[in-house]
């Protein structure tokens, strides 16, 4: 299945200092950077919290609660962003003198997403004075109403897109709510909580709280490891503000100054903290924490992030690693079932697939459908919603989209046209969740496909692969790989450099069941270079294939103390 390869615009004036690697200068320029200031990730360049709507009212409310020793209850989400935001809230509020701070995380299989009335009932049993949501709440109209009717204050901190109506909370802090002037709309939930703590610290400072209580004013920068982890794992765009947050968080991890739980997770994964990069947060730490929320209880992940007991965190890390392996097995089985179904209906190829794809299997695990949707989306380059059985004859769906199609807006359009097809939904442009009646699956699927098709007819379909061009042979080396690795953080909206080029196959074999290990050489270069294409095989290729067009990242391979250049292949096409 071929895809169109396009090169990013590198015909820009190079305005970076000569001490920056020439390849990196071109990469920065092609991402639209126009000043060296845009790679100066200093904390003083962070946007001020003051432009977040309602944040001063929220800070005053929390300060009053802390001064009067009220009971603060954080209601978390069950993904990494929610878990890190919850852990950050507990650590930060406690450091500022809050006496009673606890958390509650919903069971995704019983309570669903957000501050639902059922979750509020659980919270009310704990008699909190205030409920603080993290990474959720912006669509929880009924839950907020239930809490307020029982005399409980509700502070919503969230980053998801709001619906037409906002909940009647005591205060809402969300950069994406109407009328908010915060310059960065890309904050993750944990980023919103970080700013909330900054505003609270400033409010307590004006009240002379720290001085009168003999409390050392906390340095919020020491919590940026949690902010970085949640931000990268939630795949929000890494705009300049987020890159500052993530860069400092990664620096803490590399220096071994991260929370104990992160250190334990890196140990169980066999990752060296000193060489950590942003992608490790998304592909090493994130999945292990997410496994708790997908298969068990995210409280396990939160406990790992709030404890300072190394032995305790090591034990939890083992449990999370085991859950992650179980998740992989379930995911692989579901993936094969989805591929078999699509093949049976003649829609396994991207050119024959529906424009909007809905999949359902009564045996699928509700906690893994998001990953399944993402994998099918990547294969077919179409928006995908995967559904699993929920309670009361309902289906729970997890949606993933492609660039240019706002999946939440599409679902909102479904609701506008036929409200009875969707019970609840929420999310953002690239990912969303929803619940529908099981009997409505076929009709929902048809309407979803029609709406996506209409969008594609009007706006086209962006399924191209963008690269940073072809590297000169002399630049395919360890120096370039190390320069690019250390230049991050790379991520959503600020992609890690990809290059393209023709290579001759010297040797190839399958390793680890389904990964293609290659030795290749570039034209006019006698060096043999290692390359690996994960989740790829060569079994279907003609036997005489000797030349490949590779789309690749250049990386550093560390093995038994030896460092060498390695190409991480993202896409490949046989040429001859």
**Domain range annotation of the chain:** 5-33+466-574, 44-319, 350-459
Query: In the prediction, which pLDDT does 428 show?
Result: 81
Q: If DSSP states are collapsed to H, E and C, what string results for 36-50?
A: HHHHCCCHHHCCCHH
Q: Residue 280 corresponds to which tokens in the numbers above?
A: 């490790």
Q: Which residue has the tokens 């049976």?
A: 344
CA 77 centroid distance within chain: 13
Do the domains 350-459 and 44-319 match in fold? Answer: no
Query: In the prediction, which pLDDT does 68 show?
Result: 97
CATH topology of domain 5-33+466-574: OB fold (Dihydrolipoamide Acetyltransferase, E2P) (2.40.50)
Query: In the prediction, which pLDDT does 542 show?
Result: 62
Query: In the prediction, which pLDDT does 1 show?
Result: 45
- Residues 122-178: tens digit of each pLDDT: 999 999 999 999 999 999 999 999 999 999 999 999 999 898 899 999 999 999 999
Low-confidence residues of the chain: pLDDT under 70: 1-3, 10-18, 350, 459-463, 538-543, 576
Query: In the prediction, which pLDDT does 2 show?
Result: 53
CA 429 centroid distance within chain: 13
Query: In the prediction, which pLDDT does 460 show?
Result: 67
The pair phi, psi for residue 355, each rounded to 5°, is -75, -35
Sequence-distant (6+) residues with CB within 8 A of 287 are 324, 327
Top-level class of domain 350-459: alpha beta
Q: Residue 557 corresponds to which tokens in the numbers above?
A: 């391979």
Collapsed DSSP state (helix, strand, coil) of residue 484: helix
Query: In the prediction, which pLDDT does 6 show?
Result: 78
Query: In the prediction, which pLDDT does 541 show?
Result: 64
Query: In the prediction, which pLDDT does 575 show?
Result: 84
CATH topology of domain 44-319: inorganic pyrophosphatase (n-terminal core) (3.90.1640)
At CB < 8 A and 24+ separation, what contacts does 372-379 make?
A: 372/331, 372/334, 372/335, 372/338, 372/398, 373/398, 373/399, 373/400, 374/400, 375/331, 375/335, 376/335, 376/338, 376/342, 377/401, 377/402, 379/350
pTM reported for the whole predicted model:
0.89
Q: Residue 278 corresponds to which tokens in the numbers above?
A: 């942003």
CA–CA distance from 189 to each of 79, 157, 459 (Å)?
11, 7, 30
């Amino acid at each position: 299945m071929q895809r169109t390869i396009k090169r990013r615009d590198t015909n820009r004036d190079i305005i970076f200092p000569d001490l920056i690697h020439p390849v990196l200068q071109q990469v920065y320029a092609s991402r639209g950077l126009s000043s060296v200031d845009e790679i100066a990730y200093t904390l003083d360049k962070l946007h001020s919290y003051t432009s977040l709507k309602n944040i001063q009212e929220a800070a005053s409310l929390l300060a009053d609660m802390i001064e009067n020793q009220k009971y603060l209850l954080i209601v978390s989400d069950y993904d990494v962003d929610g878990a890190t935001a919850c852990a950050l809230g507990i650590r930060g509020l406690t450091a500022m003198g809050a006496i009673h701070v606890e958390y509650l995380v919903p069971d995704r299989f019983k309570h669903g997403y957000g501050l639902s009335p059922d979750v509020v009932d659980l919270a009310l049993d704990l008699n909190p004075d205030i409920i603080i949501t993290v990474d959720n709440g912006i669509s929880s109209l009924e839950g907020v109403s239930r809490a307020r009717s029982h005399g409980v204050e509700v502070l919503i901190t969230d980053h998801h897109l709001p619906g037409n109506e906002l909940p009647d909370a005591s205060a809402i802090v969300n950069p994406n709510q109407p009328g908010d002037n915060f310059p960065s709309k890309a904050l993750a939930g944990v980023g919103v909580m970080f700013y909330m703590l900054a505003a609270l610290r400033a409010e307590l400072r004006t009240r002379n709280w720290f001085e009168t209580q003999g409390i050392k004013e906390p340095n919020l920068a020491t919590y940026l490891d949690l902010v970085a982890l949640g931000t990268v794992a939630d795949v929000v765009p890494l705009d300049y503000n987020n890159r500052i947050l993530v860069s400092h968080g990664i620096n803490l991890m590399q220096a071994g100054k991260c929370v104990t739980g992160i250190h334990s997770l890196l140990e169980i994964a066999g990752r060296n903290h000193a060489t950590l990069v942003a992608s490790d947060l998304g592909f090493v730490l994130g999945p292990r924490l997410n496994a708790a929320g997908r298969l068990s209880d995210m409280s396990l992940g939160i406990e790992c992030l709030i404890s300072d007991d190394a032995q305790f965190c090591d034990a939890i890390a083992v449990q999370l690693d085991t859950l992650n392996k179980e998740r992989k097995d379930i995911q692989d089985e579901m993936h094969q079932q989805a591929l078999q179904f699509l093949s049976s209906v003649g829609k396994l190829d991207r050119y024959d697939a529906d424009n909007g794809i809905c999949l359902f299997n009564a045996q699928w695990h509700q906690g893994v459908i998001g990953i399944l949707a993402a994998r099918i989306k990547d294969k077919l380059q179409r928006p995908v919603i995967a559904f699993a059985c929920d309670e009361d004859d309902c289906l729970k769906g997890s949606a993933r989209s492609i660039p240019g199609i706002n999946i939440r807006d599409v679902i909102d359009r479904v609701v506008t046209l036929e409200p009875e097809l969707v019970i609840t939904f929420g999310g953002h442009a690239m990912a969303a969740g929803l619940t529908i009646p099981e009997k409505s699956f076929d009709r929902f699927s048809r309407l979803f496909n029609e709406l996506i098709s209409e969008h594609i007819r009007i706006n086209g379909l962006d399924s191209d692969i963008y690269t940073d061009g072809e590297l000169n042979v002399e630049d395919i080396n360890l120096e370039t790989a190390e320069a690019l690795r250390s230049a991050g953080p790379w991520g959503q909206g600020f992609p890690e450099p990809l290059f393209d080029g023709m290579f001759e196959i010297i040797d190839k074999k399958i390793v680890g069941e389904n990964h293609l290990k290659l030795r290749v050489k570039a034209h006019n270069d006698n060096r043999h270079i290692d390359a690996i294409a994960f989740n790829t095989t060569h079994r279907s290729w003609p036997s005489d294939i000797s030349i490949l067009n590779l789309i690749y990242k250049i990386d550093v391979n560390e093995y038994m103390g030896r460092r060498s250049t390695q190409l991480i292949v993202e896409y490949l096409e046989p040429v001859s």
